[in-house]
């Protein structure tokens, strides 16, 4: 490089080449940087979309994951040095540092790839692998979190390859080539234009994708911050006792309380609504004497109770997992309605989510003194996860989610079933959705050793309560299972049956009886229009 004084590739329109015909390294470096920018921006855009869709609990953003992984491994002295040097800008300094490293590595990848294509591409792959490990090392990460990085890397490798192909054919790479003829010169000129166009196009696309990623991630970050800043009020009155939360100790049995990350998620939202506590407002209106409007601060100032309630989706198949139990903190909806005073002829509350989803709930289920329907703000002692309705959702014991459990709820209209209908009603599901008595075998599944085998699972008849659970083997006599102590009438109950298993293939079945002495039906029904029925049946091979 004999003319480095002429500046960098970004400021020089057409860097000179050495008179020997050896090409300059600046154009391949620039191609590497554009390809690197494409890799990062595409990965960041897809990561932001993945988070917004609610399909990631981890940190799919490679830049954030790298930064976080770096922070976690920073020795204290360096951390202190960073804070004393950059103050509260230490995070920006770190991100700038990551960007600088990426630019250098991308430039090197371009330069190397110009001579040895595969070696250069491997530099990109190596960098992506480091970022991939960072992504996987974040809490709650899953394989899905790698998807944005993998797609971004493929786009980057492809871009680098194409850019360098054009560059190699252009007169930028072959200037002063002694073998130049008029015809190769025209080709070289064309290839140069196409290379420069692709370089500019790739750069522009990377900027757009990067800005898009920032805009999308910004809303999620604002809501994450709002969630992190939320100080939950203490519950009033009795809270679930340790005995009510205690589970049976059987390996493989669903825990009494479902961890939030394992809690099923069902909604119509392609992109999870991002609603901060500041932006949340509730209106209670319609057939009421007094309309109510409240902010989130108003809601938090009201008495909050804590209740254990098992949610169930009407789409849950026999033996399915669209059911989960949690401890919810919220304000009783009956107290709100007592203030609003529904008129005599009202019989339904149509709740609406910020994203337009609606549920029609019988008014009496919400005004009942003995049914703790909540305007919930917390799940398991934490603010609601965003995909489970942050900042406010409804939780109503005894009713399927589609007619009661509106997430991101912002509007309660008191009305009548003959005047309004919830989202799923015109789509083939019943207007009313009381939860049907059900039961599920969790263990054993598949195989077990002969001798004492714990057959165990959960059974539910929310708000009526479970009276007993029975198990039968190979369609023999029904035998009683032992119920766990945990739970209430509004939750599932764990159960276990000690089975003396003999070798061979066996069929296990379970049925529950609710506290009104109604036995779970063995008649098989599909989920539509108002919930599946039938006995959960599993085959086990005993060896």
Ligand X SMILES: Nc1nc2c(c(=O)[nH]1)N[C@H]1C(S)=C(S)[C@@H](COP(=O)(O)O)O[C@H]1N2
Identify residues 182-221 at the interface with ligand X (CB under 6 A).
none
Contact assessment for residue 524 and residue 319, using Cβ atoms and an 8 Å cutoff: no
Question: Smallest Cα–Cα separation from 234: which of 184, 300, 182?
Answer: 300
Residues between 335 and 354 with contacts to ligand X, criterion CB under 6 A: 353
Identity of the residue, 15 or 398, whose beta carbon is nearer to ligand X in the bound complex: 398
In terms of CB distance, is 407 or 436 closer to ligand X?
407
**Gyration radius from the chain CA atoms:** 31
Q: Does 147 bind Mo ion (CB under 5 A)?
A: no
Among 263, 328, 390, 402, contact with Mo ion (rule: CB under 5 A): 402
Does residue 481 contact residue 495 with C-beta atoms inside 8 Å? yes
Cβ proximity to ligand X: between 165 and 411 the closer is 411
Beta-ladder partners of 395: 374
Residue among 282, 313, 329, 443 that touches ligand X (CB under 6 A): 313
Residue whose CB is less far from ligand X, 162 or 265:
265
385 in contact with Mo ion (CB under 5 A): no
Give me the least distance between CB of 323 and ligand X, in Å please.
Answer: 9
Maximum C-alpha span of the chain: 98
Is the Cβ of residue 190 or residue 266 nearer to Mo ion in the bound state? 266
Contact flag: residue 460 with ligand X (CB under 6 A): no
Within 395-434, which residues bind ligand X (CB under 6 A)?
Answer: 401-402, 405-408
147 binds, among Mo ion, ligand X, none (CB under 5 to 8 A by kind): none
Q: How far is CA 305 from CA 259, 260, 312, 335, 369, in A?
A: 20, 19, 21, 12, 13
Contact track, ligand X, 371-390, x by CB under 6 A: -----------------x--
Going edge to edge, which strands form the sheet with 451-460? 438-443, 451-460, 493-501, 482-483
Question: Does 519 participate in binding ligand X (rule CB under 6 A)?
Answer: no
Token look-up 């083939």 returns: 428
CB of 69 or CB of 405, closer to ligand X: 405
Distance CA 412, CA 424 (A): 17
388 or 511: CB nearest ligand X: 388
94 scored as a contact of ligand X (CB under 6 A): no
Residues 247-266 that bind Mo ion (CB under 5 A): 266
What is the spatial distance between Cα 407 and Cα 426, in angstroms, rounded to a whole number? 20
Burial, 84: exposed, middle or buried (Cβ in 10 Å; 0-12, 13-18, 19+)? exposed
Q: Which phi-psi region, left, alpha or beta, contains residue 446 (left: φ > 0; alpha: ψ -120 to 50)?
A: left
Interface with ligand X, residue 321, by CB under 6 A: no
**At a CB cut-off of 8 Å and minimum separation 6, what does 338 contact?**
367
Rounded distance between C-alpha atoms, residue 51 and residue 62, angstroms: 13
**Interface with Mo ion, residue 357, by CB under 5 A:** no
d(CA 48, CA 222): 13
Interaction between residue 313 and Mo ion (CB under 5 A): yes
CB of 347 to ligand X, least distance (A): 21
Binding site for ligand X (CB under 6 A): 263-269, 311, 313, 353, 355, 357, 388, 401-402, 405-408
Binding site for Mo ion (CB under 5 A): 266, 313, 401-402
């Amino acid at each position: 490089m004999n003319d480095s004084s002429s500046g960098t590739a970004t400021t020089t329109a057409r860097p000179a080449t050495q008179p020997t015909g050896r090409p300059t390294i600046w154009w391949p470096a620039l191609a590497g940087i554009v390809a690197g920018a494409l890799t990062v921006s595409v990965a960041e855009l897809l990561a932001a979309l993945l988070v917004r869709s609610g399909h990631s609990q981890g940190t799919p953003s490679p830049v954030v994951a790298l930064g976080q992984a770096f922070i976690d491994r920073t020795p204290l002295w360096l951390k202190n040095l960073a804070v004393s040097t950059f103050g509260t800008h230490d995070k920006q300094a770190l991100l700038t540092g990551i960007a600088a490293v990426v630019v250098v590595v991308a430039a090197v990848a371009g330069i190397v790839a110009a001579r040895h294509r595969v070696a250069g591409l491997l530099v990109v792959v190596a960098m992506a692998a480091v970022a991939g490990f960072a992504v996987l090392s974040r809490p709650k990460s899953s394989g899905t979190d790698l998807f944005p990085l993998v797609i971004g890397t493929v786009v980057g490798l492809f871009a680098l390859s194409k850019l360098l192909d054009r560059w190699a054919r252009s007169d930028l790479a072959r200037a002063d080539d002694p073998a130049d003829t008029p015809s190769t010169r025209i080709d070289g000129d064309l290839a140069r234009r196409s290379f420069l166009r692709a370089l500019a196009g790739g750069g522009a696309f990377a900027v757009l994708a990067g800005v898009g990623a920032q805009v999308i991630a910004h809303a999620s970050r604002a809501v994450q911050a709002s969630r992190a800043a939320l100080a939950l009020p203490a519950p009033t009155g009795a809270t679930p006792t340790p005995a009510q939360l205690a589970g049976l100790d059987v390996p493989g049995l669903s825990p009494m309380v479902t961890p939030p990350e394992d809690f099923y998620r069902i909604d119509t939202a392609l992109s999870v609504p991002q609603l901060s506590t500041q932006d949340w407002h509730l209106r209670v209106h319609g057939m009421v004497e007094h309309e109510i409007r409240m902010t989130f601060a108003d809601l938090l100032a009201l008495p909050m109770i804590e209740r254990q309630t098992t949610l169930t989706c009407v789409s849950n198949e026999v033996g399915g997992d669209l059911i989960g139990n949690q401890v919810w903190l919220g304000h009783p909806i009956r107290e709100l309605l007592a203030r609003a005073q529904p008129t005599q002829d009202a019989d339904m509350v149509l709740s609406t989510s910020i994203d337009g989803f609606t549920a029609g709930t019988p008014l009496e289920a919400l005004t009942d003194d003995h049914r703790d329907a909540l305007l919930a703000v917390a799940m398991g002692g934490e603010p609601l996860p965003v995909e489970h309705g942050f900042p406010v959702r409804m939780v109503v014991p005894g009713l399927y989610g589609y007619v009661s459990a509106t997430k991101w709820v912002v509007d309660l209209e008191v009305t009548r079933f003959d005047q309004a209908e919830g989202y799923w009603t015109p789509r083939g599901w019943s207007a009313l959705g009381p939860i049907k008595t059900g039961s599920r075998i969790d263990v054993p599944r598949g195989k077990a050793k002969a001798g004492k085998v714990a057959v165990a699972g959960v059974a539910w008849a929310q708000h009526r309560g479970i009276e007993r659970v029975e198990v039968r083997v190979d369609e023999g006599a029904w035998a009683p299972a032992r119920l766990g102590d945990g739970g209430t009438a509004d939750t599932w109950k764990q159960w276990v049956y000690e089975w003396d298993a003999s070798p061979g293939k066996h069929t296990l079945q379970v049925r529950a009886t609710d506290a009104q002495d109604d036995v779970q039906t063995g008649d098989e029904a599909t989920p539509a229009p108002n919930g599946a029925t039938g006995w959960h049946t599993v085959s086990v091979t005993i060896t």
